[in-house]
Structure 1
Amino acid sequence: MIKVKLSEICDLQNGYAFKSSDYVENSNTLSCRMSNIRLGGIFDIEYNPRFLPDSFADQYKGFLLKDGDLVIAMTDLANDPKLLGVPTLVQTDGRNILLNQRVGKLIIKDSSKVDNKYLQHVLNDPKTREYYRKFASGGLQINLGKSDLLNVEIPLPPLAEQRRIASILDQADELRQKRQQAIEKLDQLLQATFIDMFGDPVSNPKGWDLVNLESLLAKKLISGAYFPKETYVNSGGVPMVHMGDVFYGVVKPDNLKQVNISNEEIKKYKITNKDILIARRSLTYDGAAKACLVECSNQDMIFESSLIRLSPNLVKILPEFLYHYLNNNDVRNKFIIPYITKSTISGINQANLNKVTVLLPPLAKQEKFIEICDKFKQLGKTLTQDLSKLDELFKSLQNQAFNGTL
């Protein structure tokens, strides 16, 4: 199977840097951002949507996307890139969607030689992703430039063979996506349960107490540690949670980077499953101040400097309730985002985090919610295990497809 550089068959258009002040409450025009590209190459414009004035569809028509356009993530976290180089096909559903910065649009030069669905699959191949990972070094943020992105080599069989491969992988991928969607539906149902039990957290129709976060802490907020490269070890060290580990809800102790540090440092930066980690800074405005739970572990764990440790006073508030509260979209928009700085690297400091308003229902009500959460977790665990098996099967198919043996 012949290989070509992506630049031979594609060009790339960068997105427009829309300002946060451009966004409106609702419209038929949305911004396509990094967060709309989901793991596995799923396009989800409904994920934390950002609306722009409908007049922008004409004003910025050069950035208007259409159904079937292939867009790709061009920015990620340096220490743990999960979305860097991930492609997805746009679905507009009749809405105006404008290409934002940090997302690029691949423009096929000759559609008689390249199938866009095949191109999506080959760019999502682990070998291609590994090529992009080599740019993941140094600093907090990594960006794929146009030349870097287009320099990758991909296998390019005849068009008919591309379509055959794409059809097989589409069918296999559909199974994975359905399982992933089922997991996301569980999360949506849990959010709906939260609203049903506690009411809208902003309007507070049930009249619960509203207090500042600072009054609910067992100890003061603390930012994590920075350790130089020479302290990192492959084994025998203390697992350390980095910012890239917190973007998927719950930190799992497995596969964390390890550092060799003193007992005093471990004691100072230790975290448990009773703590919540808050992203102190983020490449995206949406990621700043994102809350994350820590899974129970038999070994010590610490956290790095881009995170803040939040230790709830368990007599007043339970960690899992507080986690769901802080990640509620309405809560974020009303009580958290006003404290987030607007810059290239968005963030929140400890003083402002302490000021965040928190809804405080009785502990018994919180405990009942957590009982429901536990049932959802068990079902989610089963679905996640099934998804993991489907992922392995899909990787096997990818390997065969792009080695010419499918």
Structure 2
Amino acid sequence: MKWLTVHLGEIAIDMQPGFAMQPDRGQAGIPHLRTNNVSEDGRLDLSLIKRVMPSKEQIEKYSLLPGDILFNNTNSKELVGKTAFFNENGQFLFSNHMTRIRVDEKIADHRFIARYLHWIWRTGGFRAMVTQWVNQAAINRSQLARIPLSLPPLSEQRRIVEILDQADALRRKRAEADAKAERILPALFIKMFGNPVTNPKGWDAFELGDLCTKITSGSRGWAKYTGRGDAFFVRTQDINDGEISGDLLAVDPPSGAEAERTRLCCGDVVVTITGMVGKAAVFRAQCQNMYVSQHVALLRPRPSLESEYLAAFANFLAGSVPVLARFQYGQTKPGLGFRELRAARIPLPPIELQRQFVSQAQNIRTLRRNRYCAGAKLEELWSTLLQRAFSGQVTARWREAHMQEILAGMKQQAKWLTGESTRGGRQTPRLQQSLFREEMPK
């Protein structure tokens, strides 16, 4: 059974872009949802909210209601199209980079449409549609109205949403468990060594320059050597969660002392010195040639300092930043120079205690790798489920058991879309008639 193909504008009764307003510095006023409030997972993220002091007219025009759909209309090309279902109580408004969508509930389920639009974004379906500027891309209302959708009967839409909600709840629980597991290593560090900032155990502290045989960073001007070769290039974006990414930029380094100076040896610690300063990881690959970029420092510890301990110390959060960031220079463009790194003082526990930590940290890393592999498999299954859901495969057997209900729903769909049904004695408004004419390219 083939689903009906419609344009979003044919089932929408409202597509309203928001308004721009500077946030209140005192964080007073009404929450004003922005691009960061729709996650790449298609969920509403209220962890960071800006508040504004709007006029009465703005409140009336731009308020969100439970059941609304939030579509990210302006962002980088990769992020335009993120979509979330809004189901919050209380007063919320939305910025001009978001579009509020309301669909006719007689023929479309808001949750189904929200998930469908976000699925289109996940699969890259919006990238060819966007209007690209220098630093931004956008989809306007007329483009949004012309997005084609395969629309099953309302009862089947609800069944699909039910299945996806159940699967997504399992993904959310897994993500919560992973977040808790990420706190194990810092907790172990605290238990064994105490807070490295306050050093409550009174370990003797030494400057890093005295605890390392080498502190250096990569060379400038290596861009011409990247994109080819059998070696790899470690950049700031390649160091996250205490690990070096497995997806590195290839590099064909020049021969000579300069390349040898920046080549990593097993046991070296890499530390980001620009951007997000202080992120660290241990280089453990003995059979791979890797080199650090100019934005990454290479630290080679002496025998009295275990690499795993040094990296865990560096990654320990002092407030919201890694502990080594306390030694950075500059405010608008912070960084860590060799002088700051060498002068940074680090508590030095007995080597036997450091080795005990290394042993337990290795077990934690093994568990983390297993979690990552399981998480990647789960995301593959989720992507497959979404594809099957929006192609009708997930509900194939359900349709067979509910054929009469489906046929009745399809008949009702057709009536509403052709304007035969009425609401309150008047024909259902067709938003697309105005939207398809709006902002059309000349």
- Which structure 2 segments of 5+ residues have no match? 395-442
User: 1:360 — aligned with what?
Assistant: 348
Distance 2:128 2:329 in 1: 29
Match of 1:405, SS state, is: coil
Q: Report the 3-state secondary structure (helix = DSSP H, G, I; strand = E; otherwise coil) of the residue aligned with 1:270.
A: coil
The 2-side partners of 1:293 and 1:84 are apart by 36
CA separation of 1:41/1:334 partners in 2, compared to 1, >3 Å: closer, same or farther? Answer: same
Which blocks of at least 5 consecutive residues in structure 1 are unaligned? none
Paired residue type of 1:289: G
For 2:183, the aligned partner's letter is Q
Q: 1:209 to 1:185 in 2, by over 3 A?
A: same
Match of 2:432 in 1: none
1:259 equivalent in alignment to 2:251: yes
TM-score (norm 1): 0.69
Following TM superposition, by how much is the alpha carbon of 1:272 offset from its aligned partner in structure 2, in angstroms? 4.0
Task: Answer yes or no: is 1:403 the counterpart of 2:410.
Answer: no
Deviation at 1:358, TM superposition (A): 2.6
Mapping of residues 7-406 of structure 1, within 5 Å: 10-11=15-16, 13=18, 40-41=41-42, 57=51, 59=53, 70=70, 105-110=98-103, 112=105, 113=108, 115-116=110-111, 118-120=113-115, 122-124=117-119, 128-129=123-124, 131-132=126-127, 143-147=135-139, 153=147, 155=149, 157=151, 160=154, 161-223=156-218, 225-228=220-223, 231-233=226-228, 236-253=229-246, 255-264=247-256, 266-282=259-275, 287-296=276-285, 298-305=287-294, 307-330=295-318, 332=321, 336-337=325-326, 339=328, 341-343=330-332, 346-351=333-338, 353-354=340-341, 355-406=343-394
- Cα distance in 1 for partners of 2:286, 2:366 equals 18
Sort the Cα spacing of 1:84 and 1:276 in 2 relative to 1 into closer, same or farther, 3 A. Answer: farther
TM-score by length of 2: 0.64
Which deviates the most, 332-341 or 379-388? 332-341
- In structure 1, C-alpha distance between the alignment counterparts of 2:54 and 2:339, rounded to whole Å: 36
| Number of residue pairs the alignment of both structures matches | 373
1:175-195 Cα shifts (integer Å, max 9, x gaps): 333333322221112222211
Distance 2:197 2:252 in 1: 44
CA contact (8 A) 1:86 1:129 kept: no
Structure 2 counterpart SS, 1:219: strand
Distance 1:300 1:230, change over 3 A: closer
Q: Which secondary structure does the structure 1 equivalent of 2:270 belong to?
A: strand
> What SS does the corresponding residue of 2:213 show, helix, strand or coil?
coil
**TM-superposed deviation, 1:396:** 1.1
8 Å CA contact 1:274, 1:311 repeated in 2: no
In the alignment, is the contact (CA less than 8 A) between 2:263 and 2:289 conserved in 1? yes
Query: Conserved in 1, the CA contact under 8 Å of 2:273 and 2:336?
Result: yes
Q: Do 1:238 and 1:258's aligned partners in 2 also have CA atoms closer than 8 Å?
A: yes
Shift of residue 376 of structure 1? 1.4
Superposed displacement of residue 222, structure 1: 0.9
TM-aligned CA deviation for residue 300 of structure 1: 0.8
In the alignment, the residues of structure 1 paired with residue 142 and residue 279 of structure 2 have an alpha-carbon distance, to the nearest angstrom, of 33
Aligned-partner residue type, residue 198 of structure 1 = F
% of aligned pairs identical? 22
- 2:401 is aligned to none
Change (3 A) 1:193 1:127: closer
Give the Cα–Cα distance (whole angstroms) in 2 for the partners of residues 313 and 359 of structure 1: 14
Rounded to whole Å, the distance in 1 between the matches of 2:262 and 2:371 is 33
Once superposed, what is the RMSD of the aligned Cα atoms? 4.9
* Conservation of the 8 A alpha-carbon contact between 1:85 and 1:123: yes
Q: Aligned partners of 2:164 and 2:63: how far apart in 1?
A: 28
Query: Aligned with 1:299: secondary structure?
Result: coil
Residues 18/171 of structure 1: CA separation in 2 closer, same or farther (3 Å cut): same
Aligned CA distance change for structure 1 residues 248 and 196 (closer, same or farther; 3 Å): closer
Contact 2:272 2:280 in 1 (8 A): yes
Amino acid at match of 1:368: Q
Q: Per the alignment, do residues 84 and 171 of structure 1 end up closer, same or farther by CA in structure 2, a change over 3 Å counting?
A: same
